[in-house]
């Protein structure tokens, strides 16, 4: 099998056995990117070969010089990081994100040519990128999901060994589901946000997107941990997550929330998820129906809180310190014209909505109320986790939709986040893994949720399911 | 909840975003739909619920007030569209 088809752990084995060098791997990956990225558009600002950091000289490092691909909202020192937005054109951060530093210290080769995303992570399809959408490797006319669509597509098409994405309302898990790969959103506070260009500071997390569960655990070991530069990171010990890769779910109690199997969800996706639950039962897990009664309020709560926080976080993009500037006679006009020219439609929509819900006269009715309903949503999960080890749901109500299908209906687009959003609101950890295909050959994703700082159960259940199925071995025909 | 065009213009001003007339028109319609959808939150009784502004039980994350290495001025200015010495250059602020 060609080197670019292999997982991170398989490549580490090849290097250890002296069957391949990190240079061979970079070469193979570069050739692969050159051969297919014109069709997939997973990478942005790609000109010929991808740029990369200098290879580590340490022959014994954990990651052995294996390349990793990075979403365009994670800062890499002196290398363009633009959130796929015109307003950050040409921006070169003066520092590395903490996760980048950790990866470098573990011997990773950082691909500095970044992966595509919805502008500022606003979206569920990667259609809001100023570089155009990425194309789903399973059907090029379909979206990759978003906002980490470039990272998910690159991993699915073997144009990346593994990648980092970010997740605020599902932006790692949903594209992972649409592209048939693994994506994990860590517990809020598990991974440092220092160097992640902020969307919603109480919801954002960086996480891995990988070809299998073992690779996900390997990356989580490296990127997790307390960071004094991120005052919202938590000082909780990082276990060796690879120790949780145990093929055994006997006696594990899994809650299946009835509110997540709704009218109007794709029948094929529903069937694949039900079959997966059946398989876990056959492997000895105890699966029972539970209720998360405030589920229907999660999307409205999110679109108040996330847009409010986004309006605050995006205030800094005003033409003063970095990026695009449109000249004007006075400073207010400069701000207004710069932001008009630099922000895409979705960014404008969210900033304006966010400003509105925080403004005088509306704050109590919208923002404060949303924070209270957030408490109710969290309480629903606390009650279920008191009795159950984890929760299983579909990742998305549909498989990948066609490019252009939902882009003119923002509300319809927002509703595609219905199963992933509560996880960020409640600060939980969750993983999406492939669980089969629809009749049209599009991947379906299974989502597993755990209470905060219990990623271990996610790895155990995900690994068991994966090892007893073969979805992760299927590749799109490229 | 009706979000009329004047309110949107005011909010666009607060957001420091210039909107073209066609955008204002389109946004009016879309924001109305979104706010109508969000209005379902009014059904809930939240009288005795405290707000969750931060999901983690951490607070007062301080450090000692001791100077550490920080970003030098020239690095901070590297990406500036207009700079004047150690300052970001901007159009007139005070009339």
The series of mean pLDDT values per 10 residues for chain A, 478 residues long, is 96 96 96 98 97 83 96 98 98 98 97 98 97 98 98 98 98 98 98 98 98 98 97 96 98 97 91 98 98 97 97 98 95 97 97 95 94 97 98 97 93 89 97 98 98 98 98 93
Query: What is the DSSP track for A387-402?
Result: T-SEEEEES-SSSPPB
**How far out from the chain centre does Cα A471 lie?**
20
Residues from chain A that touch B51, judged by Cβ atoms under 8 A, are: 368, 371-372, 374-375
Note which residues in 19-48 of chain B have CB less than 8 A from chain A: 19-20, 23, 27, 30-31, 33-34, 37-38, 40-42, 44, 46
Please determine, looking at this structure, whether the domain spanning B5-42 carries the CATH number 1.10.20: yes
Count the neighbouring beta carbons within 10 Å of the beta carbon of residue B92: 9
Question: Tokens 């927002």 belong to which residue?
Answer: A414
Using CA atoms, how far apart are residues A146 and A152, in angstroms rounded to an integer? 9
Contact yes or no for A229/A98 (Cβ under 8 A): yes
Minimal C-alpha gap between A466 and chain B (Å): 31
pLDDT at A264: 83
**Residue A167 backbone phi and psi in degrees, to 5:** -140, 120
Query: In this complex, is the C-beta atom of B90 within 8 Å of any C-beta atom belonging to chain A?
Result: yes
By Cβ distance, the residue of A303, A371, A427 closest to B38 is A303
pLDDT at A150: 98
Question: Tokens 């509560």 belong to which residue?
Answer: A422
User: B1, B4, B16, B49: which to substitute to probe chain A, counting the most A Cβ within 10 Å?
Assistant: B16
Minimal C-alpha gap between B54 and chain A (Å): 6
Q: How many helices (H) and strands (E) does chain A have?
A: 14, 10
Residue A289, SS3 per DSSP: strand
For residue A147, say if its preceding peptide bond is cis, omega within 30 degrees of 0: yes
Tokens of A80: 């363009």
What residue ranges do the domains of chain B occupy? Answer: 5-42
Whether residues B55 and A373 touch (CB distance < 8 A) is answered with no
Minimal C-alpha gap between B49 and chain A (Å): 6
User: A300, A430, A453: which to substitute to probe chain B, counting the most B Cβ within 10 Å?
Assistant: A300
User: A338, A343, A369: which to substitute to probe chain B, counting the most B Cβ within 10 Å?
Assistant: A369
pLDDT digits (tens, 9 = 90+) for B46-87: 999 999 988 887 888 898 999 998 999 999 999 999 999 999
Size of interface A-B (CB pairs under 8 A): 162
By Cβ distance, the residue of B18, B78, B79 closest to A340 is B18
Torsion angle of alpha carbons B21, B22, B27, B33, nearest 10°?
Answer: 130
Whether residues B91 and A334 touch (CB distance < 8 A) is answered with yes
pLDDT tier for residue B1 given thresholds of 50, 70 and 90: low
Whether residues A300 and B38 touch (CB distance < 8 A) is answered with yes
In the residue annotation, A416 being an active-site residue is answered as no
In the residue annotation, A148 being an active-site residue is answered as no
Minimal C-alpha gap between A417 and chain B (Å): 15
What residue ranges do the domains of chain A occupy? Answer: 3-254+386-473
In the residue annotation, A61 being an active-site residue is answered as no
Can you point out the beta strands (E) in A399-476?
Answer: 429-437, 443-450
Using CA atoms, how far apart are residues A335 and B90, in angstroms rounded to an integer? 10
Of the residues A125, A147, A151, A399, only one is catalytic, namely A147
Using CA atoms, how far apart are residues A467 and A283, in angstroms rounded to an integer? 11
Global ipTM: 0.95
* Selection from A339, A447, A410, A429 nearest residue A122 by Cα: A410
Count the neighbouring beta carbons within 10 Å of the beta carbon of residue A47: 8
- Angle at CA A239, nearest 5°, toward A234 and A245? 130
Minimal C-alpha gap between A141 and chain B (Å): 26
Whether residues B80 and A332 touch (CB distance < 8 A) is answered with no
By Cβ distance, the residue of A325, A343, A373 closest to B17 is A343
Partners of A185 in the β-ladder: A430
Q: How many helices (H) and strands (E) does chain B have?
A: 3, 2
A3-254+386-473 CATH: 3.90.1300.10
Query: In this complex, is the C-beta atom of B66 within 8 Å of any C-beta atom belonging to chain A?
Result: no
- Angle at CA A98, nearest 5°, toward A96 and A102? 100
DSSP at A330: B
């Amino acid at each position: 099998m060609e080197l670019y088809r292999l997982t991170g752990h398989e490549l580490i084995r090849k290097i250890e056995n002296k069957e391949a060098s990190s240079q061979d791997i970079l070469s193979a990956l570069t050739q692969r990117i050159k051969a297919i990225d014109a069709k997939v558009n997973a990478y942005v600002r790609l000109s010929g070969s991808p740029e990369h950091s200098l290879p580590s000289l340490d022959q014994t490092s954990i990651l052995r010089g294996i390349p990793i691909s990075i979403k365009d909202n994670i800062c890499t020192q002196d290398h363009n990081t633009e959130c796929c937005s015109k307003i950050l054109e040409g921006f070169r951060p003066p520092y590395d994100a903490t996760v980048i530093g950790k990866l470098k210290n573990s011997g990773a080769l950082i691909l500095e040519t970044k992966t595509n995303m919805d502008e500022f992570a606003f979206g569920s399809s990667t259609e809001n990128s100023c570089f155009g959408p990425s194309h789903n490797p399973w059907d090029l006319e379909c979206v990759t999901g978003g906002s980490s669509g470039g990272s998910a597509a690159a991993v699915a098409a073997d144009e990346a060994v593994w990648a980092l994405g970010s997740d605020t309302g599902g932006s790692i898990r949903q594209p992972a589901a649409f592209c048939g790969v693994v994506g994990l959103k860590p517990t809020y506070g598990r991974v440092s946000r220092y160097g992640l260009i902020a969307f919603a500071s109480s919801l954002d997390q960086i996480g891995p997107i990988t070809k299998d569960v073992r690779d996900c655990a390997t990356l989580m070991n490296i990127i997790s941990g307390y960071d004094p530069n991120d005052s919202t990171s938590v000082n909780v010990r990082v276990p060796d997550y690879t120790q949780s890769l145990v093929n055994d779910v006997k006696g594990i109690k899994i809650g299946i929330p009835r509110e997540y199997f709704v009218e109007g969800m794709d029948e094929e996706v529903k069937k694949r998820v039900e079959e997966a639950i059946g398989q876990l039962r056959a492997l000895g897990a105890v699966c029972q129906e539970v209720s998360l009664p405030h589920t229907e309020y999660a999307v409205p709560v999110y679109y108040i809180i996330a847009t409010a926080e986004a309006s605050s976080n995006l205030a800094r993009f005003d033409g003063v310190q970095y990026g695009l500037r449109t000249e004007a006679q006075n400073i207010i006009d400069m701000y207004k014209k710069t932001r008009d020219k630099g922000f895409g439609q979705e960014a404008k929509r969210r900033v304006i909505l966010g400003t509105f819900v925080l403004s005088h006269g509306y704050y109590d009715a919208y923002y404060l109320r949303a924070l209270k309903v957030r408490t109710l949503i969290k309480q629903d999960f606390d009650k279920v986790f008191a009795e159950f080890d984890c929760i299983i749901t579909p990742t998305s109500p549909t498989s990948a939709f066609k490019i252009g299908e939902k882009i003119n209906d923002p509300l319809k687009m927002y509703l595609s986040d219905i199963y992933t959003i509560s996880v960020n609101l409640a600060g939980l950890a969750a993983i999406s893994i492939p669980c089969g295909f629809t009749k049209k050959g599009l991947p379906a994703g299974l989502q597993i949720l755990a209470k905060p700082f219990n990623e271990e159960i996610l790895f155990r259940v995900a690994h068991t399911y994966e090892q007893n199925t073969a979805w992760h071995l299927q590749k799109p025909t490229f | 909840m009706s979000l009329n065009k004047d309110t949107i213009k005011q909010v666009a001003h607060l957001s420091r975003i210039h909107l073209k007339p066609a955008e204002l028109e389109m946004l009016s319609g879309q924001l109305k739909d979104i706010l109508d959808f969000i209005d379902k939150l009014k059904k809930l009784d939240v009288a005795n619920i405290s707000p969750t502004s931060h999901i983690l039980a951490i607070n007062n994350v301080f450090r000692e007030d001791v100077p550490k290495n920080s970003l030098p001025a020239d690095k901070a200015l590297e990406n500036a569209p207009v700079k004047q010495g150690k300052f970001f250059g901007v159009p007139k602020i005070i009339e």
